[in-house]
């Protein structure tokens, strides 16, 4: 029986999978890394056995990656995203608004002015950049 996995985070070009049953199994996570990276040149895999985490940076089809993992008997990912008690159903629509990255960028600038340039502002700048990239129109 394959270890159960769940997707804990999905964003543009990134996927984080958790495999709690294999926590601290360095050999297992090394095998995942080698197998998935060999799948496609556009897939980069980072593993952390301590947190039972697999971070996949990709420019390919996620279904292909997850099917490969199942075929190679690495893990079975049945759930999409681990459920949360909060209702986030309206969040994606809000994040598609033109003004959201600008507001987040402004909040990052405010944190710099307050003398906190590292943790809060850098996170806000990166979030604004990711939203801008995800929402920009396709190149003609």
Map out the domains of the chain as residue ranges. Answer: 4-81, 91-135
8-state DSSP, 127: H
Is residue 35 pLDDT above 80, yes or no? yes
57: tokens are: 């940076």
Q: Output phi, psi for 57, to 5 deg.
A: -100, 125
Is residue 101 pLDDT above 80, yes or no? no
Q: How far apart are the two ends of the chain, measured CA to CA in Å?
A: 47
* pTM, entire model: 0.56
93: tokens are: 């629509």
What is the distance between the alpha carbons of residues 65 and 39, in angstroms, rounded to a whole number?
8
CATH of domain 4-81: 3.30.70.100
Q: With bands split at pLDDT 50, 70 and 90, how would you rate the model's confidence at 74?
A: very high
């Amino acid at each position: 029986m394959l270890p159960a996995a769940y997707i804990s985070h999905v964003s543009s070009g990134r996927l984080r999978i958790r495999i709690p049953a294999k926590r601290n199994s360095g050999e297992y996570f090394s095998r995942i890394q080698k197998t998935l990276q060999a799948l496609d040149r556009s897939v980069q895999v980072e593993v952390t056995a301590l947190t039972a985490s697999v971070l996949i940076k990709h420019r390919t089809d996620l279904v292909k990656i997850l099917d490969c993992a199942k075929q190679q008997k690495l893990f079975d990912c049945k759930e999409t995203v681990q459920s949360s008690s909060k209702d986030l159903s309206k969040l994606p629509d809000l994040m598609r608004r033109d003004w959201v990255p600008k507001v987040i960028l402004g909040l990052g600038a405010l944190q710099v002015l307050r003398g906190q340039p590292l943790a809060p502002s850098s996170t806000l700048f990166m979030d604004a950049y990711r939203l801008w990239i995800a929402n920009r129109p396709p190149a003609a």
